[in-house]
Structure 1
Amino acid sequence: MRHILYRYFIFCSVVLCVTFCSISAFSQDDTYLKVDAFGELERPVSAFDHDEHNDKAALEDCSVCHHVYEDGKLVEGESSEDQACADCHTLKAQGSQPGLMMAYHQQCKSCHIESKNGPVACGECHVKK
């Protein structure tokens, strides 16, 4: 009997561990863009659902948003999706590379203006919860 209880305990522990790991691996918290680098914000963080955005915009190529530049030139087909924007963009602009806040705004707004679809005014992205 003791052996059966031990096996049951091990089985339940493994199931719980796998369940918790699966939940955290497959659930992205994409509801809000969170960047600690900015410190205290003047406006609320931007509401953003990654999957919903890509579905509506019919985006399949991650490098459209998650770009890579080398020597100031866009590297076609390369993606930085595994990196935070702050890994490359510092708070302040460096030469032709925009600062972090400007990088976000240019990346999003320029695409929305070009496609004539999507928010471009401050209050359309930075919505109070």
Structure 2
Amino acid sequence: MKRSPLTPLALLVLVAAVLLAVPAMSQQDMTHVPTEGFKKITRPPAVFAHDAHNEKAALADCSACHHGEKDGKRDDTADTSGIPCSDCHTVAAAPGKTPLMRAYHRQCISCHMDKKKGPVTCGDCHEPAKK
């Protein structure tokens, strides 16, 4: 009887490795803030190099940006890495919820202002395409 080159355990390990690598690869390759949640884009996507930003900001953990929600309030102890912001923050948010654009702006600009580092004007983040 001929054996399969991959045993069930090896196949399971391979599938798990691929599934765990996909979110990490997408963040490593990220160069702009995701815009999938918007129907109409009025400015170029904000420039954002994920890994370089983390190194500059010296973020201790992902929940500093990828926060959760508890009892209707922001919860910085939860880590929502891999979940798109637009899953919770919609363009036309329900009352009491933060709309997607405001969530991006609050998250980025307020951190830049607090640390007195980084861009805080529209054109600094939303750079037009270079010709």
TM-score of the alignment, normalized to the shorter chain, above 0.5: yes
CA RMSD of aligned residues (A): 2.3
Moved over 4 A (4+): none
1:39-118 matched pairs, under 5 angstroms: 39-118=39-118
Q: Higher helix share goes to which structure? A: 1
Q: Aligned to 2:25, which of 21, 24, 27?
A: 27
Report the number of matched residues: 110
Provide, for residues 39-68 of structure 1, a one-character-per-residue CA deviation record: whole Å limited to 9, x for no partner: 231110111111000100111211110111
TM-score normalised by L of structure 2: 0.73
Partner Cα distance (1:78, 1:34) in 2: 21
Aligned to 2:10: none
In structure 1, the gaps of 5 or more residues are 1-20
Q: Residue type matched to 2:92 in 1? A: K
State the Cα distance separating 1:76 from its structure 2 match: 4.1
Partner Cα distance (1:90, 1:105) in 2: 14
TM-score normalised by L of structure 1: 0.74
Partner Cα distance (1:102, 1:48) in 2: 17
Range that drifts further, 112-121 or 69-78: 69-78
Q: Tell me, what secondary structure is at the counterpart of 2:37?
A: helix
Q: Residue type matched to 1:122 in 2? A: C
Partner Cα distance (1:88, 1:98) in 2: 9
